[in-house]
Amino acid sequence: MEQLIVRLFLALFALEFLVEFGLNELNLRYVRARWNERKIPDFFQGKIDAREYDKSVEYTLAKGKFQRWAEIYGRLVTLWVLFSGLLPFLDGFSKDLASRFLPVMQAQGIIFCFSVALIFTFASLPTDLYATFGLEARFGFNKTTIKLYLADKLKALLLAIAIGVPFLFVVLWLMDATGSHWWIWAFLFISGFQLIMVIVYPTLVAPLFNKFEPLKEGEFRDRILALADQVGFRTSGIYSMDGSKRSSHSNAYFTGIGKAKRIVLFDTLMQQMTTDQGLAVLAHEMGHYKMKHIHRMLVIQTVMLFFGLYILSLLVNYRPLFSAFGLENPSNHAALVLFGLLSGPVTFYLGPLMNLLSRKHEYEADRFAAVTLRDGKSMEEALINLTIKNLSNLTPHPWYSAYHYSHPTPAERIRAIRQYSA
């Protein structure tokens, strides 16, 4: 049985790798082929010059080539963690450590989960460092200093401990104490926790990393307040964020629910756009709020959590699953880690479905912006502006974008906006 489990996992793992790697190659070739036609893509003619187009292609190709190696490296790390005997070693190590210093039973589980997470974090450092200080810096995007980078990592680690330890403690305790229906209790606890995080993240966590300020007085602010009034969005929930501290990429987003909901505009975005374009972006974000997109996504996540925990409850005492990866005794903490590592090649195929839904939301928000402002042109210009400034890929392979993109391509969005406006 153990052999069958390992073989099945390896087959799914290899398939996931082939799909991921293949899509990236397909995209690289497609971008190069369009580039060789020496013609600026539709919707961008007259908006982008040849030099800017060249630069966006170079950036896309550089990222794609890096992705090749990052993909292979990441897979090797996962295989190493699963098959090198590391898991049984950490299991023993955490048991020793916990029995020596900590009285609670869940301590071993918490140490085990954290050591595995720490190993993945350290293993991702080389690719992360290169992406930030090599690739992004080469194209003029990176603004992070080594000092800020290290401070960010340290903060993230402390935060993971502050939130992760009590969270894991409760989950492990529920698994242990509530009998065979533990997964329903865990489901209730984790969904409640998720809901709290949606509120706590924008108001308490994100401000640890960035400064959020109300918009400065002026024409832009006045027009935003008028728009917010018209739409019924609480005007105190609109912020500017110092994104330029780390990167010159620009963006805007809508987050949170209830009183914690807010629209965040990067300072980089406000510098790059005209007032009309900025207002269109804001109307788009208000569209996400009006259409209840965050609520919908939360419901879907909750349903997936329910099924995920149910499946985990079937596997948690299944001995061969543990021995297949060198673990002598089934344990709740090892079940959590194994489930996390092994479910990737299965849930991978849910990614494009979630992206499909997310793209549907983006179309809805665009439509809302175009209709509310009675102006599709500014939204169109904002999109083109964002695409050029961020050196986004103008010509992704259709399969690649369908699989990986949470937003429709700029061309797809512009085509749709022209339809709404007509």
- Alpha helix segments (H runs only) across 131-264: 137-138, 146-177, 182-200, 219-231
Tell which positions 353-382 bind Zn ion, by CB under 5 A.
362, 365
Q: Is 5 exposed, middle or buried (0-12, 13-18, 19+ CB in 10 A)?
A: middle
Give min distance, CB of 83 to Zn ion, in A: 41
Which residue(s) pair with 238 in the sheet? 263
Binding mask 34-53 for Zn ion (x = CB under 5 A): --------------------
Give min distance, CB of 287 to Zn ion, in A: 8
Between 198 and 327, CB nearer to Zn ion: 198
| CA atoms of 127 and 154, how far apart (whole Å) | 18
Between 270 and 321, CB nearer to Zn ion: 270
CB contact set of 214 (below 8 Å; sequence gap of 6+): 236, 238, 239, 240
Q: What does the DSSP 8-state code read for residue 213?
A: E
Q: What does the DSSP 8-state code read for residue 46?
A: T
Single out the catalytic residue among 91, 136, 362, 366.
366
Q: Under DSSP, is residue 142 helix (H, G, I), strand (E, B) or coil?
A: strand
Q: What does the DSSP 8-state code read for residue 392?
A: -
| CA atoms of 210 and 232, how far apart (whole Å) | 27
Between 90 and 365, CB nearer to Zn ion: 365
Contact 316, 335 (CB under 8 A): yes
Residue corresponding to tokens 């865990």: 186
How many residues belong to the chain?
A: 422
Comparing CA positions, the residue from 215, 368, 394 lying closest to residue 280 is 368
| CA atoms of 294 and 195, how far apart (whole Å) | 11
Residue corresponding to tokens 């990236």: 24
Mark whether 366 is an active-site residue: yes
Give min distance, CB of 248 to Zn ion, in A: 20
Between 360 and 418, CB nearer to Zn ion: 360
Mark whether 285 is an active-site residue: yes
| CA atoms of 347 and 350, how far apart (whole Å) | 5
Give min distance, CB of 358 to Zn ion, in A: 8
Compute how many other C-beta atoms are within 10 angstroms of the C-beta atom of residue 262: 22
Give min distance, CB of 230 to Zn ion, in A: 19
Helices H / strands E in the chain, number of each: 18, 4
Between 6 and 297, CB nearer to Zn ion: 297
Give min distance, CB of 408 to Zn ion, in A: 10
Contact 269, 278 (CB under 8 A): yes
* # binding residues, Zn ion (CB under 5 A): 2
Give min distance, CB of 362 to Zn ion, in A: 5
Comparing CA positions, the residue from 7, 20, 18 lying closest to residue 400 is 20
Give min distance, CB of 360 to Zn ion, in A: 11
Single out the catalytic residue among 136, 285, 380, 381.
285
Q: Is 198 exposed, middle or buried (0-12, 13-18, 19+ CB in 10 A)?
A: buried
Between 287 and 345, CB nearer to Zn ion: 287
Between 341 and 370, CB nearer to Zn ion: 370
Between 91 and 362, CB nearer to Zn ion: 362
**Catalytic residue IDs:** 285, 366
Q: Applying CB under 5 A, which residues contact Zn ion?
A: 362, 365
